C-alpha cells in the first residue's frame, strides 16, 4: 500500500481532509468511488424528472427578474421547457449570485443542471451553460461523497494522479485494473461507468468466493449420516403411488438419492410452480430417509398446509410401514405429549407441523432430514433450529426461489431441482395492476361476478387497522365496504381464528355457501378451491414470491381467472416489480427478476430483501456481478485477490465467508 504524501497535489492540509474521509493510502483513494453518476448526454423534460434527483434540463428563457437589493440578492429566470410538447415552464432561482444575472437573455437556450422538488418545477442555484457553448454539462458527471471537505474537481485531479501512480507501480499486470478504475472515475458514457462499477464489484466478490471455496474444501460440510438406502427405493416409491410421476419429478428423485449417498450433506431446493408436484418429491425424500432409519421433520408455514401434507402422506406411510404424526399448536395436550415421546424414542419417523416443531420441548432421537415447505415463509434462523436438532440434510420447497437462495446457489452452497407441471395441467390467469382510485370499481366488478356464481379472494395485508393503512386491514376493509360486500355471501379468514373456525369457513367457501373470502395471506398456501378471482390489496407491500403464490390459489381447475394487484404506492420501483407479474408466470424467472430489482437479500444473515452490497467496496450485488465473479480469467482473479487481501483487513473476508459457510476460518 502506497502512502499519499508523495502524490502530486497532496500537502499536509489535504492529507488531513482526506483522513477525515477515511483515506490514507493510494488504494483507499482509488476505491473511494463516486456515489452518483449523472448522465449529461440527454436532457429530460421537467415533467419526467425524478424529484430530489440531479437532472439535466434544456429551456428557452422567457423572462428574467431583477435582482433583489436586500438579503440574499436573489433573482429568478423563467424557462420554457424545449423538450416538452405542452409548453411546460419551469423556473431557476439564484441566491447570492447576482453576477450570473447578465448571463441570461430572453430567447436564449440553456442547459440547466439541478434538482426539482415534489410538486414543484423550481431549481435553486443550478449549474447552467448556453446550449451552443457546452463545456462542463456534457458526458457523465461524477459526484463524490466528500462532505464539503474537498472540491469535486480537486478530488478528481487527485484520483487521476493516483491512477497514474498505480499504473506505474503495478506495471503491465495491473493495467487491466487501472483501466477499470479510470472508467469508474472518468467515464465517457453512463454505460461505461455502469460496466466499470460492475467489474469492480465482481472483483470484490471474486476474492470472497475464493476464500469461501478454500474453506469449503476443508470438508466441514462432509456427510454426517450414512444411510442404508434400499437399492430400488425409487421403483418401490412409484409403485406405491396412485399417480405416475412426471419426468422432472423422477429426475428430482434421482438427484435426492444421489445427494443422500454423496460425501456431502444435502442442501437442495425443489423449485416448481403451484401444481407441479413439489410435495410428492418431498414425500420421496421422507420415505427414503425414514425407511433407512432416519427421522424427518416437515415444516409448513400454516397449520392448514401441515395438515394437508400429513393427510396426503398417511397412505404412503402405511405402504412402507412408517409411523408419521402431525404436531401443531392446536394438537390436544395428551396427544401432543404422546407424539413428543414417540419422536424422542424414535418410533415416529416423520413429523409434520409448523414452527411448533422448533419448540425446545420437542427432541428427536435421530433427526437427519429437514423438509421446509414454502421456503420464502421461513428465514435462516428456522433452518438453523432444525439443523441444531440434528438435521444435517435439508430439502426446501418453493414456487419462487427467494433472491437469497439464488445468491447462495451461485456460491455452490445449494443445488436446485426444477420440476415442471404436467403437460395436461393448464392455467389461464390474467394479472392486472389496479390503482387506488379504481379500488371501489374493482370491488363492484368482483361482487357482480360472485353474484353470477364465481368465487373470489380479497387479500388484505393485515388483520387490524394501523396508521397509514386504515382501509386495507381485514377489519377496516370489511367495515368500510360493508355495503358492497353485503350483496354476496362473504366470510373472513385470518390467522387469529381457531382451527375449528378456519376449517368451517374453508368448508363453506369450498361448498359455495361463501362466495367471497376476505383474508390475510394465510390463504397463500394450502388452499385448494375452484376460485377464479384474486384481489390483493396494497400488493406493493408483498414480495413477488408471496404474490406469485397468492395468484396460484385461483384457476386451479383450468378456468379463465383474474388476479388484480391493487397498489397505493405508484413509484416507478413499486410499479416495475408488479409489472413483472403481469408479464410472467414462470416462478424461476420471477425470482431472477426480483433479484435484479431488489438485490440478493442478506446472504450473510437473516434479512432477505433489500439491496445487498459487496463485502469491501460496498457495491450492489446483482446476478450479473455474481456470474462475472465466478468466471473471472485466472490472471485477473489472482491479481485482484492479492490486491484486495493487501488493501482490506483479512477479517472483512473472514466475516463474509464465515457467515456463509458456518465456519471459523482461523480454527
> What's the whole-number mean pLDDT along residues 374-396?
73
331-340, 390-399, 400-409: range with highest mean pLDDT: 331-340
Confidence of residue 444 (pLDDT cuts 50, 70, 90): very high
Looking at the domain assignment, is residue 154 inside a domain?
no
pLDDT above 80: residue 412: no
Provide the pLDDT for residue 650: 66
CATH number of the CATH domain containing 305: 3.40.50.300
Looking at the structure, do residues 346 and 491 belong to the same domain, yes or no? no
Sequence-ordered list of residues with C-beta below 8 angstroms from that of 451, at least 6 positions apart, any chain: 487, 488, 515
Looking at the structure, do residues 412 and 453 belong to the same domain, yes or no? no
Least confident of 171-185, 540-554, 596-610: 596-610
> What's the whole-number mean pLDDT along residues 551-572?
85
Average pLDDT, the chain: 84
Confidence of residue 607 (pLDDT cuts 50, 70, 90): very low
Provide the pLDDT for residue 605: 45
Looking at the structure, do residues 305 and 355 belong to the same domain, yes or no? yes
Provide the pLDDT for residue 657: 58
pLDDT digits (tens, 9 = 90+) for 203-216: 988 888 777 666 55
Domain end marker among 90, 120, 138: 138
pLDDT above 70: residue 219: no
Looking at the domain assignment, is residue 253 inside a domain?
yes
Q: Are strands 350-353 and 324-327 parallel, antiparallel or unpaired?
A: parallel
Provide the pLDDT for residue 217: 55
Looking at the domain assignment, is residue 71 inside a domain?
yes
Strands ordered across the beta sheet of 109-114: 122-124, 89-94, 75-81, 55-64, 109-114, 127-130
Provide the pLDDT for residue 654: 65
Long-range contacts of 622-626 (CB under 8 A, 24+ apart): 622/198, 622/201, 622/595, 622/596, 623/406, 623/410, 623/592, 623/595, 623/596, 624/198, 625/198, 625/201, 625/202, 625/205, 626/202, 626/205, 626/407, 626/410, 626/600
Looking at the domain assignment, is residue 639 inside a domain?
no
Confidence of residue 425 (pLDDT cuts 50, 70, 90): low
Give the whole-number percent of the chain exceeding pLDDT 90.
41
Sequence-ordered list of residues with C-beta below 8 angstroms from that of 590, at least 6 positions apart, any chain: 400, 544, 545, 548, 580, 581, 584
Provide the pLDDT for residue 451: 94
Provide the pLDDT for residue 74: 92
What are the E-state strand segments in 530-618?
Answer: 533-536, 560-567
State residue 21 phi and psi, 5-degree precision.
Answer: -95, 5
Looking at the domain assignment, is residue 197 inside a domain?
no
C-alpha distances in angstroms, 133 versus 110, 113, 136, 382? 9, 15, 9, 63
pLDDT above 80: residue 437: yes
Looking at the structure, do residues 343 and 480 belong to the same domain, yes or no? no
> Could you give the maximum distance between any two Cα atoms of the chain, in Å?
95
Looking at the domain assignment, is residue 134 inside a domain?
yes
Q: How many CA atoms lie within 13 A of 412 on its CB side?
A: 13
> What's the whole-number mean pLDDT along residues 319-341?
93
- State the total domains in the chain: 3
pLDDT above 60: residue 193: yes
Q: Give the 3-state secondary structure percentages of the chain, helix then strand then coil, rounded to 5.
A: 45, 20, 40
Cβ neighbours around 389 below 10 Å, total: 18
pLDDT digits (tens, 9 = 90+) for 173-189: 889 999 999 999 999 88
Looking at the structure, do residues 410 and 463 belong to the same domain, yes or no? no
Looking at the structure, do residues 574 and 484 belong to the same domain, yes or no? yes
Give the closest residue to 490 by CA, choosing from 536, 530, 521, 447: 447
Domain end marker among 108, 138, 168: 138
Provide the pLDDT for residue 129: 93
More confident call, 9 vs 469? 9
Looking at the structure, do residues 454 and 314 belong to the same domain, yes or no? no
- Check: CB of residue 531 under 8 Å from CB of residue 553: yes
Confidence of residue 622 (pLDDT cuts 50, 70, 90): confident
Strands ordered across the beta sheet of 367-372: 324-327, 350-353, 295-299, 367-372, 393-398, 267-271, 415-418
More confident call, 302 vs 146? 146
pLDDT above 90: residue 573: no
How far apart (Å, rounded) are the C-alpha atoms in residues 445 and 524?
23
Least confident of 54-68, 562-576, 585-599, 629-643: 585-599
Looking at the domain assignment, is residue 274 inside a domain?
yes
Looking at the structure, do residues 513 and 491 belong to the same domain, yes or no? yes
How far apart (Å, rounded) are the C-alpha atoms in residues 235 and 150?
72
Looking at the structure, do residues 109 and 241 belong to the same domain, yes or no? no
Looking at the structure, do residues 398 and 439 belong to the same domain, yes or no? no
CATH number of the CATH domain containing 74: 2.40.50.1010
Domain end marker among 138, 155, 178: 138
**Residue span of the structural domain in which 260 resides:** 233-418
Provide the pLDDT for residue 42: 81
**Given the C-alpha cell 400488493, which residue does it identify?**
539
Looking at the structure, do residues 324 and 301 belong to the same domain, yes or no? yes
Looking at the domain assignment, is residue 457 inside a domain?
yes
Looking at the structure, do residues 406 and 434 belong to the same domain, yes or no? no
Sequence-ordered list of residues with C-beta below 8 angstroms from that of 239, at least 6 positions apart, any chain: none
pLDDT digits (tens, 9 = 90+) for 103-131: 999 999 999 999 887 667 789 999 999 99
Amino acid at each position: 500500500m502506497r502512502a499519499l504524501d508523495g502524490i502530486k497535489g497532496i500537502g499536509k492540509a489535504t492529507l488531513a481532509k482526506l483522513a477525515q474521509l477515511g483515506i490514507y493510502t493510494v488504494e483507499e483513494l482509488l476505491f473511494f468511488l463516486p456515489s452518483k453518476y449523472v448522465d449529461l448526454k440527454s436532457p429530460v423534460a421537467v415533467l419526467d424528472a425524478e424529484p430530489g434527483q440531479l437532472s439535466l434540463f434544456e429551456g428557452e428563457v422567457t423572462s428574467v427578474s431583477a435582482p433583489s437589493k436586500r438579503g440574499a440578492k436573489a433573482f429568478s429566470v423563467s424557462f420554457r421547457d424545449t423538450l416538452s410538447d405542452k409548453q411546460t415552464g419551469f423556473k431557476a432561482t439564484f441566491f447570492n449570485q447576482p453576477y450570473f444575472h447578465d448571463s441570461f437573455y430572453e430567447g436564449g437556450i440553456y442547459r440547466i443542471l439541478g434538482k426539482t422538488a415534489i410538486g414543484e418545477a423550481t431549481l435553486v442555484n443550478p449549474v447552467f451553460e448556453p446550449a451552443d457553448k457546452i463545456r462542463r454539462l456534457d458526458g457523465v458527471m461524477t459526484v463524490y461523497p466528500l462532505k464539503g471537505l474537498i472540491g469535486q474537481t480537486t478530488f478528481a485531479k487527485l484520483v487521476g494522479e493516483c491512477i497514474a501512480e498505480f499504473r506505474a507501480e503495478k506495471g503491465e499486470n495491473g493495467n487491466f485494473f487501472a483501466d477499470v478504475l479510470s472508467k469508474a472515475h472518468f467515464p465517457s458514457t453512463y454505460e461505461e461507468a455502469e460496466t466499470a462499477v460492475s467489474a469492480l464489484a465482481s472483483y470484490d466478490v471474486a476474492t470472497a468466493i475464493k476464500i469461501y471455496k478454500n474453506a469449503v474444501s476443508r470438508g466441514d460440510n462432509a456427510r454426517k449420516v450414512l444411510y442404508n438406502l434400499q437399492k430400488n427405493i425409487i421403483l418401490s416409491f412409484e409403485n406405491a403411488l396412485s399417480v405416475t410421476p412426471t419426468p422432472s419429478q423422477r429426475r428430482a428423485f434421482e438427484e435426492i438419492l444421489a445427494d443422500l449417498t454423496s460425501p456431502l450433506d444435502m442442501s437442495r431446493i425443489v423449485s416448481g410452480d403451484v401444481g407441479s408436484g413439489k410435495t410428492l418429491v418431498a414425500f420421496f425424500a421422507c420415505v427414503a430417509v425414514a425407511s433407512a432409519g432416519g427421522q424427518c421433520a416437515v415444516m409448513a408455514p400454516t397449520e392448514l398446509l401441515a395438515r394437508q401434507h400429513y393427510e396426503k402422506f398417511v397412505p404412503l406411510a402405511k405402504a412402507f410401514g412408517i409411523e408419521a404424526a402431525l404436531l401443531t399448536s392446536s394438537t390436544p395436550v395428551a396427544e401432543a405429549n404422546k407424539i413428543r415421546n414417540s419422536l424422542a424414542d424414535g418410533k415416529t419417523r416423520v413429523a409434520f407441523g409448523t414452527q411448533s416443531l422448533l419448540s425446545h420441548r420437542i427432541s428427536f432421537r435421530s433427526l437427519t432430514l429437514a423438509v421446509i415447505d414454502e421456503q420464502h415463509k421461513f428465514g435462516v434462523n428456522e433452518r438453523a433450529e432444525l439443523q441444531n436438532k440434528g438435521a444435517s440434510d435439508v430439502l426446501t420447497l418453493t414456487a419462487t426461489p427467494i433472491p437469497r437462495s439464488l445468491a447462495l446457489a451461485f456460491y455452490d452452497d445449494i443445488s436446485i431441482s426444477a420440476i415442471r407441471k404436467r403437460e395436461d395441467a393448464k392455467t389461464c390467469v390474467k394479472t392486472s395492476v389496479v390503482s387506488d382510485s379504481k379500488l371501489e370499481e374493482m370491488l363492484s366488478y368482483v361482487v357482480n361476478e360472485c353474484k353470477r356464481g364465481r368465487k373470489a379472494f380479497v387479500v388484505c395485508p393485515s388483520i387490524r387497522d394501523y396508521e397509514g393503512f386504515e382501509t386495507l386491514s381485514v377489519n377496516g376493509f370489511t367495515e368500510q365496504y360493508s355495503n358492497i360486500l353485503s350483496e354476496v355471501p362473504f366470510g373472513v379468514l385470518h390467522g387469529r381464528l381457531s382451527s375449528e373456525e378456519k376449517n368451517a369457513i374453508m368448508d363453506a367457501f369450498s361448498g359455495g355457501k361463501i362466495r367471497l373470502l376476505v383474508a390475510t395471506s394465510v390463504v397463500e398456501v394450502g388452499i385448494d378451491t375452484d376460485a377464479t378471482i384474486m384481489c390483493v390489496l396494497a400488493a406493493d407491500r408483498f414480495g413477488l414470491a408471496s404474490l406469485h403464490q397468492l395468484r396460484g390459489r385461483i384457476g386451479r381447475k383450468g378456468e379463465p381467472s383474474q388476479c388484480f394487484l391493487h397498489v397505493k404506492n405508484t413509484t416507478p420501483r413499486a410499479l416495475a416489480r408488479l409489472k413483472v407479474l403481469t408479464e410472467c408466470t414462470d416462478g424461476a424467472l420471477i425470482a431472477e427478476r426480483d433479484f435484479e430489482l431488489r438485490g440478493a437479500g442478506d446472504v450473510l444473515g437473516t434479512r432477505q430483501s433489500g439491496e445487498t452490497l459487496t463485502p469491501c467496496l460496498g457495491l450492489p450485488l446483482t446476478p450479473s456481478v455474481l456470474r462475472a465473479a465466478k468466471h473471472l480469467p485466472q490472471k485477473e482473479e489472482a491479481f485482484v485477490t492479492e490486491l484486495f487481501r493487501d488493501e482490506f483487513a483479512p477479517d472483512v473476508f473472514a466475516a463474509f465467508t464465515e457467515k456463509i459457510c458456518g465456519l471459523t476460518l482461523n480454527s
